[in-house]
Amino acid sequence: MHNHGLGAWMFTRRLKSPDKVALVFGEDERITYRQLADDADRVSALLWHRGIRKGDAVAYIGENSPDFLRVLFGVAQLGAVFVPLNTRLAAPELAYMLSDCGARLLIHDPEFAGRLAPGIEAARVAHVIPTGDGDAEVPGLTELMQESSAGHADTAVVLEDPAAIIYTSGTTGKPKGAVLSHGNLTWVSMNCIVDYDVVSADVALLISPLFHVASLGMGALPVILKGGTIVLEKGFEAGRVLELIERHRITMLSGVPTTYQLLADHPNWAATDLSTLTKLTCGGSAVPTRILNAYEERGLSFSQGYGMTETSPGATSLSPSMTREKQGSVGLPHFFTDIRIADENGAMVPRGTVGEIEISGPNVFLGYHGMPEATADAFTADGWFRSGDLGYLDADGYLYISDRLKDMIISGGENIYPAEVENLISDITGVSGVAVIGVPDERWGEVPWAVVTLRDDAAVDTVPDTASVRAYLEGKIARYKIPKNVVVVDELPRTASGKVRKADLRARFGGR
């Protein structure tokens, strides 16, 4: 084999466990590793005949389905770069990403055709393929795969080559494409296998979107690497998840605190057989005590952790056995990952001292696509990734998060960078200043609020309110980023240098 990256995984899985069920989808679709590997071969052949070569960007957008993995592994066989797009993004956001990554080919669920059209034209995407059967004029992926050969492509790929570009909102409002290598995704899978004890007998229920790096890098890929089975769902509905856990004897489940709270609040919670669940992982934010209590009453406990897109995404994990003893901690560094804490001058600080969290390991990304300055700023002189988050290590080496330097908001597992929203709101007539903050929310963990000041000459009939701001932002950014409330204040609290003191605003409006 010349391909030492993800493109070799299906070939090897077909040899080792051809008849093992790799995917369960919908009510009755079961796909073996042999079938998944054959499909990946057909995708790679299809892409090759459309001129896709090593290094070319292939974008994909669609809800969870087997097509996502077929395309991922087909792209990887050619050494091309897979670019999964968030289905919740608005047309301008998608257009930017298609153009920024230079997508030569786009595969999309027809449901998103309208939102994609402006971006396809602006980015001059050479080939566009809808999923499904398509029609007489535009054949779909299913039909085109059936017409393609099933021979395995073996392009020379090393672990250091780019495998995917995952977009993350930037602190300045401009999305940044984090370039993840084949090695990054392989090593984050190994971290999961070691620290979460993933085995080939595991049956993992994936309910989070695969375009999120957590669902991909710490959900699907480790299970596939070990030859386990994935029960793949398009989305999350608490009652159905409980039913699937019992029906498929699920052993692994990942989610955010909101996910687990909705499951525990469902009427079927007490009656559902959860005895097969042995691995529950939770990310996005700390698990509240009320959720810990609800699951411990059923004999269940969580692995928690910390990470980000740039670390593929796992950086630390807290084992279930330490959930109570180290409550509030995000755990120890993953097996093949290191953590250190630095002060504002880059010097290492003693245990117990708050500083910036820096991360090193083979799971740390290559850099930001087309952004050499941002990439250089993201790393220290000796090559450690600067997370932008504040935290400290206790005497036992467990990491605690103190604050987010970048003011990021995490709402229902989705990352929101205030600058992106602030830039748009600042264009609204009459607005002189704006700060977007995260405010606690019982269901979503936190939600964005906008705090604005007005121009002295702002007309009474143009004063923005929640409804008008939300209407203005509709279609410009994803709905989860749109502030749930807009508050008008006389002035924003600022430092001597003029920077808004968001901690003051969070304290005033019920924030963290």
Residue at 297 is within a domain: no
Phi-psi label, residue 254: left if phi above 0, alpha if psi -120 to 50, beta otherwise: beta
Strand residue runs (E) in 190-301: 203-206, 229-232, 252-255, 279-282
CATH for 52: 3.40.50.12780
**253-268 b/e (C-beta count within 10 Å ≥ 16 → b):** bbbbbbbbbbbbebee
pLDDT of residue 171: 59
In the listed set 129, 158, 187, which residue is the last one of a domain according to the structure? 158
Residue at 137 is within a domain: yes
What mean pLDDT do residues 433-440 have? 91
Residue at 64 is within a domain: yes
Residue at 42 is within a domain: yes
Residue in the block written with tokens 């290094």? 55
CATH for 418: 3.30.300.30
Angle at 217 between CA 364 and CA 212, to 5 degrees: 100
Question: 409 — phi, psi (to 5°)?
Answer: -105, 135
pLDDT, tens only, 53-63: 999 999 999 99
pLDDT of residue 16: 98
In the listed set 158, 192, 208, which residue is the last one of a domain according to the structure? 158
> Rounded to an integer, what distance in angstroms lies between the CA atom of residue 414 and that of residue 212?
9
Q: Which two structure tokens, joined as six digits, stand for 94?
A: 């998608």
pLDDT, tens only, 217-238: 999 999 999 999 999 999 999 9
Q: Which residues contact 423 (CB under 8 A, 6 or more apart)?
A: 173
Residue at 27 is within a domain: yes
Closest CA to 168 of 206, 212, 210: 212
Q: Are 264 and 291 in contact (CB under 8 A)?
A: yes
Residue at 59 is within a domain: yes
Residue at 356 is within a domain: no
| Identity at 402, one-letter amino acid code | S
Of 355-364, 456-465, 485-494, give the lowest mean pLDDT range.
Answer: 456-465
Number of domains observed in the structure of the chain: 2
Residue in the block written with tokens 């084999």? 1
Q: Is 383 exposed, middle or buried (0-12, 13-18, 19+ CB in 10 A)?
A: exposed
In the listed set 138, 158, 178, which residue is the last one of a domain according to the structure? 158
* pTM as predicted: 0.88
pLDDT of residue 291: 87
Q: Which helix (H) or strand (E) holds 466?
A: helix 466-473
Give the 3-state secondary structure of 24-88: EECCCEEEEHHHHHHHHHHHHHHHHHCCCCCCCEEEEECCCCHHHHHHHHHHHHCCCEEEECCCC
Selection from 283-287, 303-307, 394-398 with the highest mean pLDDT: 394-398
Residue at 381 is within a domain: no
- Domain span at 68: 1-158
